[in-house]
Amino acid sequence: MSNVDDEIMEDIWQTNTSKLTSAISSLPELITRKKLLDMHTDLASKLMEIVKSSKIDRLTELESKIISKSLKDNYEIFEIVESEDIPMFDRFRVVAIALLCDCLSKSDLARLQPFLDSTDYVPVIDYLIDYKNVTKITNQQQSSSASNTYSHMFSKIVAKSPSILQGVKSLMMWDKGYFLTQIVQSLLETGTTDLLDLSTLDPRQTVDGSYKSTISFDEIVVFVVGGGCYTEYQDLMSIINKKHLAGKNIIYGCTEMMNATYFTEQLRNLGKS
């Protein structure tokens, strides 16, 4: 009986020794993993502190409401603009987006004028106001001259997509993505788009244009003639995350990659010229 007990104890000892040896040998790896985890946790905490202190979460939510036309009261805009703990450029960006999206009346601009006068962005706002006025006049002239000839076409387009005018007019974000993303996704899904008049360059296409290619493609190159930005690129990449478009490869390019600060500087120069 004692021999059996000795064998059992020896097995237990060997098992525990093996586990202990394994634990000791894996200890350096566990320590390294813990250091990496602590480093990423600390980084995430620091980022969240920056987000909260800069009010990035509030700014993003407000800008999304402005662009999607879901902002019910401009009080939120005034509240952000009057918050001195938010960087001045971020407050100005909110005003610029609201102006481009036709969310500000003359009285609203008058209320915001003291803030604008305290910044270096008055030429930018002046340029945006002039741009909006010219755009409105151009749109009115085009609408008036083409109202009789294209009235049936206009009605058909509006029936298909009530928000299309907003997308074409401002070339900004729709309720479901940026204007560029809508074009590319429509081309991938149906091969055509009602958003713009596009030219098809295909050597197999006949003179009368009757040939329609039915070949699907997986490689897409999107090049913006002008300024591009990472946000537009990121929104465009969201297409390939859709199940029915999985496997597609999109390459995004532009004449010049820009951020909000550099774009504002260009607007400032235009306003001064």
What does the pLDDT look like over 75-127, one tens digit per residue?
Answer: 999 999 988 888 888 999 899 989 888 888 889 989 999 998 888 888 888 88
pTM reported for the whole predicted model: 0.60
- Percentage of the chain surpassing pLDDT 70? 68
Give me the mean pLDDT over the 2-21 stretch: 62
For residue 239, pLDDT over 60 is answered with yes
- Cα Rg for the chain, rounded, in angstroms? 29
CB atoms within 10 A of CB 64: 13
State the pairing for strand pair 219-228/249-257. parallel
Six token digits for residue 56: 């990035």
